[in-house]
Amino acid sequence: MKHLDHFYIDGRFVPARDRPQRVVINPATEEPAGSIAMGTAKDVDTAVVAARKAFGTYGCSTREERLEMLRRVLALFDERAEEFAQLTTLEMGAPITFARQAQIAGSRAHIADTIRILEHYEFERLAGRTLLAFEPVGVCALITPWNFPVLQIVTKVMPALATGCTIVLKPSEYAPISPMLFAEVLHDACVPPGVFNLINGDGATVGEALSSHPDVDMVSFTGSTRAGVQVAKNAADTVKRVHQELGGNSANIVMPDVDLELAVTRGVLGAYRNAGQSCTAPTRMLVPRQLHEEAIGIAKQAAESVVIGDVNDEATMLGPVMNERQFERVNSLIESAVQEGAILVTGGPGRPSSLNRGFFVKPTVFGHVTKGMTVAREEMFGPVVSLIPYDSIDEAIEIANDTPYGLAAYLQSKDLGAAKRVASKLRAGQVMINHPAWDASAPFGGFKQSGNGRECGEFGFEAFLEVKAIGGLHEG
């Protein structure tokens, strides 16, 4: 049991035993994993004051000073990598192999990539006769989700620190244990007091206080589109910068020339990654009509090969969804698909028969799904794949774009030229052709209601910079 009866403010772990306590549930066992103190608007004020004061000095720090600090962070993160992985498994049920190889290894890659960018970034450059100075935005409120509890923090905190910003972080109240360990890493790395602050709490209290706070210069939010809209409304009165990475409903277009078994198997397993709890999950698989029945059989075999169960077993591939509410939501969407006429290929509502506890959802495949069905319209966030037949590439593109979201899309084809032409017509922030190797420096973000702004790589770095134009220094 991890009892987090404290916050991290102004370089200290501040006791908060008098605050309301919230139990953190292990979704694999439905048993308590720990508890946290829930912050208030007053706690937010205290943290923002500390961040504002620290910005006066830290905002003027040198590149070399920040690099030295971030290298200490990376070294300490590496020392505690296994602890991070174990806590991720404890608080969100990620299978331990996935926690190590994706959740934590991915986080490490983002830290290293931020260091790489900072080493070479030009904070001053000449454009004609005007000097462009890239300066830190200021005090940043960072609000992060539960599905990648450390990685999503790293993709915001590291570029903010690298650019000279100061931070108040609100991690998800559903997965707050590993974020506090990250605060310990920053503390041990001697991040100056007030530069990084952490307040646990919920969106209605801490999130709202942060996004509306007049002394916060920027809000970076990752979560649902519904919550993102509210964050933007809260921020509007003070005209602060708002970056959002929101929901998704990604299409995976299987083109007619593919190795069908490889493409469908990869697509199904990719959709089940992190129990389907990824906003980029390729949940809508678009297959040529003449290959649809064959694809159904392949998808069934792939889904039934997935090892589900003990999240501490290195062979386990699929863990639970995050909580009871998510379990009920995913099962409700599965039931709606059956009622609306989709063909249930494998899986279905309810917990797998081999398990008697935990928020586990059966690996599910639907065939003969149409674009108007609820399961094809809503963000799933569970281990469910819907196979949708199409008659032409133009129709596949139309179906793929027929969604309010635009975070990611996938293409499977042997003809890279054709795939590139299709990719140019997809309204999505990332298009992945033939499941390429993950790139930590690729900009991440969406079109339409999937948000605005970008994280990761140089674009994510520049999200935390303002541009100042200085004239008169270079007259020609």
112-115: long-range contacts, CB 8 A cutoff, minimum separation 24: 112/74, 112/440, 113/440, 113/441, 113/456, 113/457, 114/70, 114/158, 114/159, 114/162, 114/461, 115/67, 115/70, 115/71, 115/74, 115/162
How far apart CA 149 and CA 242 sit, in angstroms, is 20
**415 CB-side CA count, 13 A:** 9
> Given this model, what pLDDT does residue 107 score?
98
CB atoms near residue 219 (< 10 Å): 25
Element (H, E) at 84: helix 81-92
Residue ranges of the chain whose pLDDT lies below 70: 1, 475-476
- Contact at 8 Å (CB) between 196 and 183? yes
> Given this model, what pLDDT does residue 2 score?
81
> Given this model, what pLDDT does residue 166 score?
98
Which residues make beta-bridge pairs with 219? 141, 242
- 279 noted as active-site residue: yes
Among 208, 279, 379, 456, the active-site one is 279
> Given this model, what pLDDT does residue 223 score?
94
Helices (H), 93-168: 96-98, 105-120, 151-163
- Contact at 8 Å (CB) between 28 and 320? yes
> Given this model, what pLDDT does residue 3 score?
87
Look at the alpha carbons of 270, 445, 428, 415 in this order and tell me if their dihedral is positive or negative: negative
> Given this model, what pLDDT does residue 474 score?
76
Exposure of 124 by Cβ count < 10 A (0-12 exposed, 13-18 middle, 19+ buried)? exposed
- 245 noted as active-site residue: yes
Scan for tokens 């509410």, then name that residue. Answer: 325
* Structural domains of the chain, ranges and CATH numbers in brackets: 2-246+450-470 (3.40.605.10), 251-441 (3.40.309.10)
The predicted-structure confidence for 398-449, as pLDDT tens digits, reads as follows 999 999 999 999 999 999 999 999 999 999 999 999 999 999 999 999 999 9
Chain centroid offset of residue 31 CA: 25
The predicted-structure confidence for 82-136, as pLDDT tens digits, reads as follows 999 999 999 999 999 999 999 999 999 999 999 999 999 999 999 999 999 999 9
CB atoms near residue 123 (< 10 Å): 14
> Given this model, what pLDDT does residue 476 score?
57
- Contact at 8 Å (CB) between 249 and 403? yes
Among 245, 379, 455, 462, the active-site one is 245
CB atoms near residue 307 (< 10 Å): 12
- Contact at 8 Å (CB) between 79 and 244? no
Q: pTM (2 decimals)?
A: 0.96
